[in-house]
Structure 1
Amino acid sequence: MLQTVQKAAQVLRLFTPHQPEWGVTEVAAALEIPKSGAHALLRTLAAEGLLQRTAAGRYRLGWALFELSQTLLDSSALLRAARPVMERLVAGWGETTHLAVLVDGQVLYVEKLQGDRALEIVLSGVGKRLPAHCSGVGKVLLAHQPWEVVLGIVERTGLVSFTPNTIKSVEQLREELERVRQQGFAYDQEEVMVGLCCAAAPIRDESGHVIAAMSLSVPAYRFYPNRQRLTTAIVDAARRVSEELGYYQEDWAWENGKRSRSRSSVPGISVPT
């Protein structure tokens, strides 16, 4: 039964925006299983509404998945906490803000809000994926993974180069992730798209684990002169979401010769000048 469930999940993962339709023979070849097994899997998933069969006998994703995705979006504590904060960011800056998680070693965008001053960003969008090494949110998410996990991701996906600024070596990636981990935020400086930059910061759950990342994406000519303010804004926004999810760190500070307790959500944050 477990193998059947695994194969069913593998079938669903085959469907992408680049190839939204599959036939029995193609599925059998992709999963290296007999055609009879592929046919049985596709037919069963279609009967449950997870796939739909076309008039040509091929298969597409079914509407039951849309229903399930809406349930996920409506019930997600992360999204409930992040949306109001993202809305305030967009209202204040007029730029685009993203919320992303790490799935299969890639950045998966789970929310995107675009402001009235924002540059159109076609590579990102709710449900879209990008390699993690070249985006601000991706660097944040990778920086809080064990290095062995990061190496495994690089071995599987490589270091795809989008622009001359994209990280091109494992050593360069390691140095960048260490810097991100130490300072508490990350930049994408025209690494995915020439003319586009972003600042990103981690979101933590109540146990302190980094579960997501949030970013502000800004045209390069507006980013560089405002980098300090943008960094402060996104770090504060991510901190607020983390607090909504129950995360905080109590720090001790000395005031007037007495030790007092202060509340700080994300340790190690510094803002460059």
Structure 2
Amino acid sequence: MAEMATRTRTTKTATKKATKGDRSQTVERALEVLAAFDDAHPELGIRELARMLQMDRTVVYRIVATLEARKFLEQNPATRRYRIGQAAFMTGQYYVRSNPIFNAAVPRLQTVATTHNVNAFLATLHEDSVLYMSSIQLREPITFLLSAGSRGRLHTTSLGKVLLAGLEDAQVEKTLRRIRMVPLTPRSQVSVKGLMSEVRQVRRQGYATSRDTMVMGLASVGAPIRDASGAVVAAISLSLPSDEGDEAFMRKLTRTVIQCAQEISLAVGATIDGCVDAA
């Protein structure tokens, strides 16, 4: 198979690139407040936000009051703490609906998942996490509470390894040294050296596999989605119980996920030369 080379993107714009001095400090602080809410912190109070973000409590109060008035935050009447509001939810939904990768991938993943009786996932790289854009789960008993916006670990999933393989080696190593690589199973790879070796192999072969590294009894295979520049912008994976994934079926599933990823890539502007040869 053709090597999954990494490519950097350059974008030509008519205007100069914004610098830190061009940005609004007030808007940045408001976005920091919104970004503080996650799976580990679904609700936060003013004092907690001020402490977490190292901001003055009065500043945080004014930001929260504004976000609440615009329905980007809402207050839980029982706890008096704040949580993400309807306006933030709707804005996030617009991201998914208007995203060409999502629109090209989901119908194809639904077909593949139904045809092969597997679970299918679409994700992109966000900071140091796998960010799930879609989760199509048809298989039991192995299903996950994953939905659009959920985050996953880079080091224990085939999706994560594919997304890491789209970066340069220096970026991969920096990321792996920055994240907390917790062993989720006895087979989880938590060595930077070991993961670097796996990522390089993913680049060479054009796909990633995992077996019992995230959850015992789960096998998966993932492949990259590329844009017009050839850069890896997302990844898809197919998963099933490990005891059903014999060598012959996993080879078939690998060809399927690579072909599906190619079709999605072409739909969002990639060229044949920029895609991995699945033959």
What is the TM-score when the length of structure 1 is the normalising length?
0.88
Q: Out of 27, 45, 52, which is 1:23 matched to?
A: 45
Q: Is the 8 A contact 1:137 1:186 kept in 2?
A: yes
Residue in 1 that maps onto 2:253? 230
C-alpha distance in structure 2 between counterparts of 1:9 and 1:155, whole Å: 26
Structure 1 segment 143-182 matched on structure 2, within 5 A: 143-182=165-204
C-alpha distance in structure 2 between counterparts of 1:41 and 1:155, whole Å: 34
Residue in 1 that maps onto 2:83? 60
Tell me the percent identity: 32
Equivalent pairs, count: 255
Question: Could you say what the CA RMSD is over the residues aligned between the two structures, in angstroms?
Answer: 1.6
C-alpha distance in structure 1 between counterparts of 2:200 and 2:277, whole Å: 12
| Residue 235 of structure 2 is aligned to residue 213 of structure 1 | yes
Residue in 2 that maps onto 1:35? 57
C-alpha distance in structure 1 between counterparts of 2:259 and 2:187, whole Å: 27
SS in 1 for 2:246: helix
Structure 1 segment 131-150 matched on structure 2, within 5 A: 131-150=153-172
Per-residue Cα deviation, 1:206-264 (whole angstroms, up to 9, x for no partner): 111110000001100111331100100100110110111121234xxxxxxxxxxxxxx
SS in 2 for 1:16: coil
Residue in 2 that maps onto 1:257? none
SS in 1 for 2:237: strand
* More contact order relative to length (CA 8 Å, sep ≥ 6): 2
Bigger fraction of residues in strand:
1
Residue in 1 that maps onto 2:275? 266
Label 1:87 to 1:266 Cα distance change in 2 as closer, same or farther (>3 A): same
Q: Is the 8 A contact 1:182 1:268 kept in 2?
A: no
Gaps of 5+ in 1: 251-264
Residue in 2 that maps onto 1:111? 134
Structure 1 segment 176-215 matched on structure 2, within 5 A: 176-215=198-237
With 166-175 and 66-75 compared, the bigger mean Cα shift is at 66-75
C-alpha distance in structure 2 between counterparts of 1:123 and 1:59, whole Å: 23
Query: CA shift at 1:35, angstroms?
Result: 0.9
Residue in 2 that maps onto 1:95? 118
Query: CA shift at 1:136, angstroms?
Result: 0.3
Query: CA shift at 1:2, angstroms?
Result: 2.0
C-alpha distance in structure 2 between counterparts of 1:217 and 1:69, whole Å: 26
What is the TM-score when the length of structure 2 is the normalising length?
0.86
Query: CA shift at 1:85, angstroms?
Result: 0.8
Query: CA shift at 1:122, angstroms?
Result: 2.0
With 92-101 and 33-42 compared, the bigger mean Cα shift is at 33-42
Query: CA shift at 1:32, angstroms?
Result: 0.8
Query: CA shift at 1:17, angstroms?
Result: 2.6
Per-residue Cα deviation, 1:38-77 (whole angstroms, up to 9, x for no partner): 1111111111211012334321111001211221222111
C-alpha distance in structure 2 between counterparts of 1:54 and 1:153, whole Å: 36
